[in-house]
Amino acid sequence: MSEIKVDTLSTVSGSGNLTVSNNIAGAGTISGTNITASGTLGVTGLITASAGVAIGGTGAVNTLDDYEEGTFTGVGMSAASGGAFTITSQDNAYVKIGKFVKVRIKILFNSPSSASGNITLSGLPFTVSGVQGMHIIYNNQSASYNNDGGFFAQNGTTNAIKYGYSTSYQNVTGFQYWLEAQYITT
């Protein structure tokens, strides 16, 4: 095998391998079917991996194929009987890593005067796979209400259910919930 030592390369084309023993520096694009680096790969710009990033192996179970964070609106609440809650303000955010979703929901609402039964919270950002718990971390009405069962995200929907809504919270203006949940999406 022959070796050619070069101080500067402006364009390399063709097939085969290009092996570099020191550093590749400069502006432009490095592209290819397989690029292998041993040691530390330092990048100051954006890395785009349309097929995902394999971590600790090359199989599908080792591939991180999605990362996303953002906000969402459209959360609604309704009672099994007695009507809908009026959402007056909401501030909701999520992080999605692969199929794992973490949501934070902050809603301010007025509760109907005759609400009873299970409460449905709708509008989660991704469809739920399985049944997952959703913890009430704050409400502005009663400390004891934070630990009364919370909501459960429902399989195959973008909804969560609160079982056994307390009728003592009927007809409240300015009710505030802060909720957190982690769930798996489809």
Residues 6+ apart with CB under 8 A from 119: 77, 78, 79, 80, 85, 151, 161, 162, 165
Range of the domain at 162: 69-184
For residue 164, being part of any structural domain is answered with yes
Q: Is residue 30 part of a domain?
A: no
Q: Quote the pLDDT of residue 33.
A: 64
**Is 38 part of any domain?**
no
Do the domain assignments include residue 32? no
How far is residue 1 from each of residues 4, 118, 144, measured CA to CA in Å?
Answer: 10, 75, 77
- Would residue 87 count as lying in a domain? yes
In a domain, 95, yes or no: yes
Cα–chain center distance at 75: 16
Confidence (pLDDT) at 155: 92
Provide the pLDDT for residue 146.
46
Q: Is residue 27 part of a domain?
A: no
pLDDT 10s digit of each residue in the chain, 186 long?
Answer: 556 665 665 666 666 666 666 666 666 666 666 666 667 767 777 777 777 788 888 788 888 888 999 999 888 888 888 778 889 999 999 999 999 999 999 998 888 877 777 888 899 999 999 878 887 777 776 655 544 557 888 899 999 888 766 665 667 778 888 888 889 998
State how many domains the chain has.
Answer: 1
Residue-level pLDDT at 6: 59
In a domain, 20, yes or no: no
